[in-house]
Amino acid sequence: MVLATYDEDTEEYDPFQGKVVKHKKGEYKLNSEGTYYAETLNGRSLAGKQVIANSDLLTVDGSTINKYDFFDSDSLDKSVGGTIMKTAASIVPLLCGPVGYVYSGLLIARELAKSLPMLYGMTTSLFENENEPEFLNTLAGCGEKFTGGISEYGSQHTFSFEQFGKLVGDVAVQWGQQKLIARAVSKLRGSNKVLQDAYKSSLNDYTRQINNLKDQYRLGKITQAEYLKAMELAGNAENWAETSFGKIALSKYMPAAEAIV
Final residue before a domain boundary, out of 163, 188, 213: 188
Final residue before a domain boundary, out of 139, 165, 188: 188
Kindly report the length of the chain: 261
In a domain, 238, yes or no: yes
* Interatomic CA distance for residues 47 and 162, integer angstroms: 24
**Phi, psi angle pair for 92, to nearest 5°:** -50, -45
| Domain identity same for 181 and 102 | yes
pLDDT digits (tens, 9 = 90+) for 145-164: 888 888 888 888 888 999 99
| Domain identity same for 144 and 235 | no
Question: Are the C-beta atoms of residues 240 and 185 closer than 8 Å to each other?
Answer: no
| Domain identity same for 91 and 180 | yes
Domain residues for 164? 78-188
Final residue before a domain boundary, out of 188, 222, 245: 188
In a domain, 228, yes or no: yes
- pLDDT band for position 68 (50/70/90)? confident
Half-sphere exposure of 216 (CA within 13 A, CB side): 16
| Domain identity same for 141 and 216 | no
Evaluate if residue 171 carries a pLDDT over 90.
yes
* pTM, rounded to two decimals: 0.63
Q: What's the N-to-C CA distance of the chain in angstroms?
A: 45
Q: Which of 55-69, 97-111, 208-222 has the lowest mean pLDDT?
A: 55-69
pLDDT digits (tens, 9 = 90+) for 196-255: 899 999 999 999 988 998 899 888 888 888 888 888 888 877 788 888 888 999 999 999
Q: How many domains does the chain have?
A: 2
